[in-house]
Structure 1
Amino acid sequence: MNAGSQQTVLEQLANKICGFDLQAIPPEAYRLARTAIIDTLGVTIAGASEPCTTLLLDTPGVATAPGQCSLLGMRRQTSALDAAFINGTASHALDYDDFSQPMGGHQSAPLVAPLVALAQERGLSGLALLQSYIVGIEAEIRLARAVNFYHYDKGWHPTATLGVFGAAAASAHLLGLNPAQTTTALAIAASFASGLKANFGTMVKPLHVGQCARNGLLATLMAQAGYDANAAALEHKQGFFNAFNGPGHFNAALIFENWANPLEVLSPTMGLKQFPCCGSAIPAVAMALQLRKEESFAIEDIAKVEIMPHRRRLPHTNNPDPQTPLAAKFSVQYAVCLSLLKGAPKLKDFEGTSHFDPDIRSLMAKTIAREHPDMPDDSPEQFGAEVIITLNSGITLSRRVNSLIGRGGDHPLSADELWEKFSDCAQRSMTPSQVKPLFDALQNLENVKDIRQITALMDPA
Structure 2
Amino acid sequence: MSVASRSDPVAVELARRIVSFEVDRISEQAIESSRLAILDTVGVTLAGVNEASVRKLMAAIGVSGESGPASILGTRLRATLLDAAMVNSTASHALDYDDFSQPMGGHQSVPLVCSLLALAEQEARSGLDLIRAYVIGIETEIRVARSVNFHHYDKGWHPTATIGIFGTVAACGYLLSLSQAQMATALAIATSMASGIKANFGTMVKPLHVGQCARNGLLAVLLAREGFDANTTAFEHKQGFFNVFNGTGNFNPDRIFEDWADPLEVLGEQMGLKQFPSCGSAIPAVTMMLQLRKEEAFSLEDVQAIEILLHKRRLVHTDDPDPGTPMAAKFSAQYAVCRALVSQAVRIADFEGDAFHDPEVRAMMARSTTRAHPDMADDSPNQFGAEVRVTLVNGTVLSRKVDNLPGRGIHYPMTPAELWDKYSDCAQVSLPSACVKASFDRLLGLEKLRDIRELTALLRP
TM tier relative to shorter chain: over 0.9
**Alignment match, 1:151:** 152
**Alignment match, 1:193:** 194
Which region of structure 1 is more displaced relative to structure 2, 89-98 or 393-402?
A: 393-402
Output one character per residue of 1:326-349: Cα deviation in whole Å (capped at 9) or x when no partner. 111000000010101111200010
Pairing of 1:199-218 with structure 2 (within 5 A): 199-218=200-219
**Alignment match, 1:327:** 328
Pairing of 1:332-371 with structure 2 (within 5 A): 332-371=333-372
Matched, 1:431 2:432: yes
Pairing of 1:260-339 with structure 2 (within 5 A): 260-339=261-340
- State the shift of 1:393 in Å: 1.6
**Alignment match, 1:241:** 242
- State the shift of 1:60 in Å: 4.7
Q: Which amino acid aligns with 1:402?
A: D
Q: Secondary structure at the match of 2:168?
A: helix
Alpha-carbon distance between aligned partners in 2 of 1:227 and 1:138, rounded to the nearest angstrom: 25
Alpha-carbon distance between aligned partners in 2 of 1:190 and 1:64, rounded to the nearest angstrom: 33
Alpha-carbon distance between aligned partners in 2 of 1:217 and 1:90, rounded to the nearest angstrom: 17
- State the shift of 1:64 in Å: 7.0
**Alignment match, 2:401:** 400
Alpha-carbon distance between aligned partners in 2 of 1:5 and 1:196, rounded to the nearest angstrom: 31
Q: Which amino acid aligns with 2:207?
A: P
Q: Which amino acid aligns with 1:155?
A: G
- State the shift of 1:5 in Å: 9.1
- State the shift of 1:409 in Å: 2.5
Which region of structure 1 is more displaced relative to structure 2, 305-314 or 294-303?
A: 294-303
Q: Check whether the contact 1:63–1:82 (CA below 8 A) recurs between aligned residues.
A: no
Change (3 A) 1:18 1:173: same
Output one character per residue of 1:151-195: Cα deviation in whole Å (capped at 9) or x when no partner. 000000000000111101101000000110000000001100000
Pairing of 1:13-32 with structure 2 (within 5 A): 13-32=14-33
**Alignment match, 1:178:** 179
**Alignment match, 1:130:** 131
Q: Secondary structure at the match of 2:60?
A: coil
Output one character per residue of 1:28-62: Cα deviation in whole Å (capped at 9) or x when no partner. 00010000000000100111101110111121545
- State the shift of 1:202 in Å: 0.6
Alpha-carbon distance between aligned partners in 2 of 1:454 and 1:295, rounded to the nearest angstrom: 44
Q: Secondary structure at the match of 1:116?
A: helix
Q: Check whether the contact 1:138–1:263 (CA below 8 A) recurs between aligned residues.
A: yes
Q: Which amino acid aligns with 2:112?
A: L
Alpha-carbon distance between aligned partners in 2 of 1:393 and 1:293, rounded to the nearest angstrom: 20
- State the shift of 1:66 in Å: 5.7
Alpha-carbon distance between aligned partners in 2 of 1:232 and 1:344, rounded to the nearest angstrom: 50
Q: Secondary structure at the match of 2:114?
A: helix
Where does structure 1 lack aligned partners over 5 or more consecutive residues?
none
Q: Secondary structure at the match of 1:370?
A: strand
Change (3 A) 1:5 1:25: closer
Alpha-carbon distance between aligned partners in 2 of 1:34 and 1:63, rounded to the nearest angstrom: 30
Q: Which amino acid aligns with 1:83?
A: A
Which region of structure 1 is more displaced relative to structure 2, 390-399 or 346-355?
A: 390-399
TM-score by length of 2: 0.98
CA RMSD of aligned residues (A): 1.4
TM-score by length of 1: 0.98
Q: Secondary structure at the match of 1:176?
A: coil
Alpha-carbon distance between aligned partners in 2 of 1:5 and 1:443, rounded to the nearest angstrom: 43
**Alignment match, 1:161:** 162
Q: Secondary structure at the match of 1:192?
A: coil
Q: Check whether the contact 1:65–1:79 (CA below 8 A) recurs between aligned residues.
A: no
Alpha-carbon distance between aligned partners in 1 of 2:6 and 2:306, rounded to the nearest angstrom: 61
Q: Check whether the contact 2:66–2:76 (CA below 8 A) recurs between aligned residues.
A: no
Output one character per residue of 1:221-267: Cα deviation in whole Å (capped at 9) or x when no partner. 00000001111111111111010011111111110111100000001
**Alignment match, 2:108:** 107
**Alignment match, 2:59:** 58
Q: Check whether the contact 1:63–1:79 (CA below 8 A) recurs between aligned residues.
A: no
Alpha-carbon distance between aligned partners in 2 of 1:7 and 1:67, rounded to the nearest angstrom: 40
Q: Check whether the contact 1:320–1:331 (CA below 8 A) recurs between aligned residues.
A: yes
Which region of structure 1 is more displaced relative to structure 2, 431-440 or 188-197?
A: 431-440
Q: Secondary structure at the match of 1:43?
A: helix
Where does structure 2 lack aligned partners over 5 or more consecutive residues?
none
Alpha-carbon distance between aligned partners in 2 of 1:206 and 1:104, rounded to the nearest angstrom: 15
How many residues align? The count is 458
Q: Which amino acid aligns with 1:78?
A: A
Alpha-carbon distance between aligned partners in 2 of 1:441 and 1:82, rounded to the nearest angstrom: 25
Change (3 A) 1:228 1:283: same
Alpha-carbon distance between aligned partners in 2 of 1:445 and 1:290, rounded to the nearest angstrom: 34
Output one character per residue of 1:380-428: Cα deviation in whole Å (capped at 9) or x when no partner. 1010011111111221111111100110132111122111111111000
Alpha-carbon distance between aligned partners in 1 of 2:263 and 2:294, rounded to the nearest angstrom: 37
- State the shift of 1:353 in Å: 0.4
Matched, 1:441 2:442: yes
Q: Secondary structure at the match of 1:283?
A: helix
Change (3 A) 1:333 1:197: same
